[in-house]
Amino acid sequence: MTSTRKHLLVAGITFVVLLAVALLDTSLAPLFGVVGARIKHILDATLFTLGNQPLTPLSLIKISLFIVVLAFCARATMVVLQKKLLTHTGLATGQQFALARVISYLIFAVGLVIGLESLGLNLSSLVVLGGALGLGVGLGLQTVVSNFVAGLILLIEQPVRIGDRIEVGSTFGEVVAMKARSTWVRTNDNVVIIIPNSNFIEKSVTNWTANDPRVRFCLPIGTSYKSDPAQVREVLLKIAAAHPDVLRDPPPDVVFHDFGDSTLDFLLRVWSETKVPVPAVLKSDLYFAIFEEFRRLNIELPFPQRDLHVRSISPEVASTLWPPPTDFRPQA
């Protein structure tokens, strides 16, 4: 940062501080002459009363600044707990985040009650706002409230945690952040999808790593009826064992799945922990190796086969065929 920018920043901060002092302490307003007296008159004017407590522009400014500072403190507390303190405990990453977030909510709620009481606002009079709040929820805030409540449920139950690989609808990726209203999921394309928290409560969610970071992948493979199933099984297990991202425990296995129309259908089932974020890459590597090994061993990969029986054909066409068909009906 250049020297000029530093001076401008210091001057701006000084001006903001002086203005805040003048606004928050109306006893200093007369020092600014007629303008200060006018400001004092405006700031001390009663806008409305809440119970027996008159609310002025000055009191509203104080309340707003207090809420901003309280929110900043709650946020800072969450960051310190999550980054500095809870990392030294035995809690998992998701549990650390949940505990830090709940504590920050409690600090904000308790601080809000204590702070508003200390500013002279009788909170019992806020009951009057209950009807207005209910009306606001009915007019369009129900979605916000639903997502916020769903966020609290996610923090308490933890069906989804930071770092989990999840699938919601057509979105597949890693949970990178859990906010009060939404959850951020980063896909393999490095795109962050913001999903409302209510979706995790109302819809089915696939959590690939909820209980165990190891995931099993099934690769369907078909060979021709000329192939030896025992040889195919041996080759597939050899290829799976040679891949560095395939786990040895649990070991890979091969299942003779079905007799297809033109194929013997097998399933190669492998376990992996490192390729959970990119399952397509693991399958691609295995398929490349399988194709090369099958070609080397002359294990035939099938293609659809159909038997065509011609029941009606003209004599001119039949005369061009060799050997001539023995069972056909000439066209009339």
Q: How many whole angstroms separate alpha carbon 64 and alpha carbon 87?
A: 34
| pLDDT of 273 above 80 | yes
Which among 272, 280, 281 has a CA at the least distance from the CA of 248? 272
24-28, 192-196, 202-206, 264-268: least confident range: 24-28
Q: Give 166's contacts (C-beta < 8 A, 6+ positions apart).
A: 160, 172, 173, 174, 175, 185, 205, 206, 207, 208
Q: Note the Cα 204 to chain centre separation in Å.
A: 14
Cα separation, 292 vs 254, whole angstroms: 18
C-beta neighbour count of 274 within 10 angstroms: 13
- 227 pLDDT higher than 70: yes
List Cα–Cα distances, 208 to 161, 201, 205, 247, 273, in angstroms.
Answer: 11, 17, 10, 17, 11
Is residue 226's pLDDT more than 80?
yes
For the stretch 72-122, pLDDT in tens is 888 888 888 877 787 777 666 666 777 787 888 888 888 877 776 776 666
More confident residue, 267 or 81: 267
DSSP 44-111: TS--EEETTEEE-HHHHHHHHHHHHHHHHHHHHHHHHIIIIIGGGSS--HHHHHHHHHHHHHHHHHHH
Q: Which residue has the tokens 């504590």?
A: 103
Q: Is the peptide bond before 57 cis (omega within 30 degrees of 0)?
A: no
**Domain 159-207 falls under CATH 1.10.3480.10:** no
Is 212-332 assigned to CATH 3.30.70.100?
yes
Model pTM score: 0.56
Q: How confident is the model at residue 237 (pLDDT cuts 50, 70, 90)?
A: very high
Q: Among 43-52, 57-66, 91-100, 282-291, which stretch is predicted with the lowest mean pLDDT?
A: 43-52
pLDDT for the residue numbered 157? 79
pLDDT score at 177: 87
* pLDDT for position 229: 92
| pLDDT recorded at residue 235 | 94
Domain spans of the chain?
Answer: 20-121, 159-207, 212-332
Q: How far apart are CA 174 and CA 168, in angstroms?
A: 11
Band of the pLDDT at 139, cuts 50, 70, 90?
low
Please indicate whether residue 130 or residue 265 has the higher confidence score (pLDDT).
265
Cis peptide before 250 (omega within 30 of 0): yes
- The answer, yes or no, to whether residue 16 has pLDDT greater than 60, is no
Residue showing tokens 């609310």: 55
Q: Is the pLDDT of residue 200 over 80?
A: yes
Give the highest mean pLDDT range of 34-38, 211-215, 266-270: 266-270
- Alpha-carbon gap, residue 240 to 216, rounded angstroms: 13
pLDDT at 23 over 80: no
Ranking 122-126, 147-151, 222-226, 286-290 by mean pLDDT, the lowest is 122-126
Read out DSSP for 125-163? GGGGHHHHHHHHIIIIIHHHHHHHHHHHHHHHH-SS-TT
For the chain, how far is it from start to end, CA to CA, in angstroms?
A: 97
pLDDT, greater one: 89 or 177: 177
